[in-house]
A and B are shown apart, each in its own frame.
Chain A
Amino acid sequence: MGGGLIMIVFDRVNKYYGDFHVLKDINLTIKKGEVVVVIGPSGSGKSTLLRCINRLETISEGSLSINGLNVADKKTDINKLRRNIGMVFQHFHLYPHKTVLENIMLAPKKVLGQSVEEAKKIALKYLDKVGIGDKANSFPSQLSGGQQQRVAIARGLAMGPEIMLFDEPTSALDPEMIGEVLDVMKALAHEGMTMVVVTHEMGFAREVADRIVFMDEGRVLEEASPAEFYANPREERARLFLSRILNH
């Protein structure tokens, strides 16, 4: 949990959508093996922050680097960078016209040049790991939400990335399926994967996060270990947010 190698660095990052200042002066460092959970009210910019890491969103000012590579630089091979970063979306975004196995095998085959046998072996391995080895030949539409999301995680892992990003991975799931997905993520965390997770799941954060990053209105207002954060949030707005979330 949290080695010394620095992987992701946000340095005075600002982002504007036209006149709207969506990310304000972000300074954030994430080390290899760290599990960072980003929380905050909606509109706080947490998803945007996450999506900047693999350049699904671009930054307007400042610098963002991954393993020393400047993400915003035009000369950076963004496709190569993305091979090393897996992403899991709120709405899964599995490819509906391909089977579960094909979904997972696609990128390793086409991007890493793996043979069909290689890719299949690895895909089945990760499919087993997320607990649905028996659904290899099903189509996404035949799976439940929780199963689809687990396939999405396997799809991300099959590329062998160093970093995994999760954008509200359980927000679109029925309550009874949230657990199975969180379990997979917890296992990943325990294995030492560098993870950045945007979520509302406080239990998950408390269990596996190394650090909580609280955002509001585009700013990082507070960073602390889960223990510190939940026991005694320093910021007024953090306290307000927590109380609202925890008192359902």
Chain B
Amino acid sequence: MLDFSILTENLDMYLLGFKNTIMSSLIALVASLILGVLIAIMRIAPIKPLNWLGTAYVEFIRNIPLLIITFFFFLGLKLSGLYAGTLALTIYTSSFIAEAIRAGILSVPKGQMEAARSSGLTYGQAMRLVILPQAVKIVIPPLGNQFINLVKNSSILAVVAGLDLMYHGDLISSRTFVVFDVYIFVAAFYLILTIPLSFGVGYLEKRLAKSN
């Protein structure tokens, strides 16, 4: 059976890590979404140099391990653990979000853009008023998945002393010489974040479907 004293005696460390993981994940979530939308639009806009830049970004970033990106910011740019990890998390996730959004936008029928442009709307207006709102519905499930991945990937902070949940788990484990129980509790804390996220995404999906 699980040794709950591990949890109770180290609760302050678990909670400190939990708090930092939440903060880091939240910041990265918002930032990667904004960045992802920008990159997606760059890839779709009818301006060749922007296309090229956006594609290069996505192909490069999503094919490198998150750990390496993190080390780049930590050792290369010498940002502190928490910042390096959160920034790396943002950049990494943004490439996947850009892809999900681009796929969503492309799956909106071509005729929608044609109808919008034919009435005199500019490309930007057509995107904003006609295409993107339709793309949003399609994009919510894959985006939700990316956010859940983001929360799990935030554990990368542990490797650069980012003071997150996993880092504190490591510390507790190395001090108590207990491995299994310590990390089960860590997992439980992650679940507290990821399970509501899943439900939230599901709820959002249903509500958007209703407006059809």
Contact = CB atoms under 8 A, between A and B. Distances in A.
Interface string B170-212: 0000000000000000000000000000000000000000011
Contacts of A82: 117-120
A110 B111 contact: no
A86 B197 CA distance: 45
B133 interface: yes
Given A91-B111, A93-B112, A111-B119, 15 more contacts: A56-B114, A56-B118, A79-B120, A79-B122, A80-B120, A82-B120, A83-B119, A86-B118, A87-B114, A93-B111, A97-B211, A97-B212, A106-B119, A156-B119, A159-B120
Interface residues of A, number: 26
B153 interface: no
B184 to A, nearest CB: 45
A56 B111 CA distance: 11
Interface string B105-134: 000010110111111111001000110011
Given A93-B114, A97-B134, A107 B109 contact: no
Interface of B: 109, 111-112, 114-122, 125, 129-130, 133-134, 137, 211-212
A127 interface: no
Interface of A: 54, 56, 79-80, 82-83, 85-87, 89, 91, 93-97, 106-107, 110-111, 139, 141, 152, 155-156, 159
A83 B120 contact: yes
A79 B114 contact: no
A65 to B, nearest CB: 18
B111 A89 contact: yes
Contacts of A107: 119-121
A197 to B, nearest CB: 15
30 contacts: A56-B114, A56-B118, A82-B117, A86-B118, A87-B115, A87-B119, A89-B111, A89-B114, A91-B111, A93-B109, A93-B112, A93-B114, A95-B115, A95-B116, A96-B134, A96-B212, A97-B211, A97-B212, A106-B121, A106-B130, A107-B120, A107-B121, A111-B119, A111-B120, A111-B121, A141-B212, A152-B115, A155-B119, A156-B119, A159-B119
Nearest to B119: A107
Contacts of B134: 95-97
Contacts of A91: 111
